[in-house]
Amino acid sequence: MTATSGAAGSSPVGPDVVRLRDLLGVPVDLELLQLALTHRSYAYEHGGIRHNERLEFLGDSILGQAVTVKLFRDYPELDEGELAKRRASLVSTVALAEIGRHIGLGVFLRLGKGEEQTGGRGKSSILADTVEAVIGATYLSAGADAATDLVLRLVAPLLVDPARFGAAMDPKTSLQELAASLTLGNPAYRITEAGPDHDKTFHATVVLQGEDIATGTGTSKKTAEMSAALDAWTRLSGRTTGA
């Protein structure tokens, strides 16, 4: 499809969208990919054009199926309960946001001015939703096999790093254990919030021995704390940032 306005319903597809497609390594339609990057805040500020929430809905289903099949096949020794825990970890907002950061997704987002000013490019909820939307766009463009392949490539770093996998499953506990092993004491969390009551964003900062270690954002205090805890665990463990 040519790089013109269409599925995204607004401006022509820019070179940044082409760059992301090359980065992903999948033959996703450029207009659908641009739509996947279009947050509702941008859509509302540009005359109510289409945004990515329908693609997100589709991508969530594809993500869940691909991860479920992968875990079922690769871990025959695990029972249903353990498989469910691992799947929940891999499809969580925290894990998907880390995937988004790992591939540099934030710079490609189409955000409204309000989201831009409040750090929307780094918000876990927005990054996670956009990852799902990109998966949905890939499915519609290139089919189920290409979408599944993309999912497996995105989650692969977690699966090959058992320690980080465990941290993603329960980042606050993992951080507490790591901090104790490094004789840093118990982590504390400082929470701030912004936005109207119906659309609040929470910011969490991990504090160890009076020093700010890492931050995270989310649509709830719990999600923000989990995001900050995983970032702190990543830094303290010496691993590179990203899922």
Q: Please tell me whether 129 is known to bind a ligand.
A: yes
Residue 176 tokens read as 């507490």
Residue 15 tokens read as 């070179």
Distance of CA 232 to the CA centre of its chain: 17
Residue with tokens 């990057």: 37
Q: Is 116 a catalytic residue?
A: no
Q: Please tell me whether 212 is known to bind a ligand.
A: no
Q: Which residues pair with 217 in a beta bridge?
A: 203
Name the residue among 81, 80, 130, 140 with its Cα closest to residue 107: 130
Q: Is residue 34 a contact partner of residue 51, using CB atoms and an 8 Å limit?
A: no
Write out the H or E segment, with its range, that includes residue 88.
Answer: helix 80-90
DSSP annotation of 50 reads -
Q: Which of 29, 31, 60, 231 is catalytic?
A: 60
DSSP line for 182-211: TT----EEEEEEES-GGG-EEEEEEEETTE
CB neighbours (10 Å) of residue 18?
14
Q: Which of 29, 115, 132, 231 is catalytic?
A: 132
Q: Please tell me whether 132 is known to bind a ligand.
A: yes
Q: Is 60 a catalytic residue?
A: yes
Half-sphere exposure of 29 (CA within 13 A, CB side): 19
**Coil, strand or helix at 27:** coil
List, as residue ranges, the binding site: 56, 129, 132
Catalytic residues: 60, 132
List, as residue ranges, the binding site for Mg(2+): 56, 129, 132
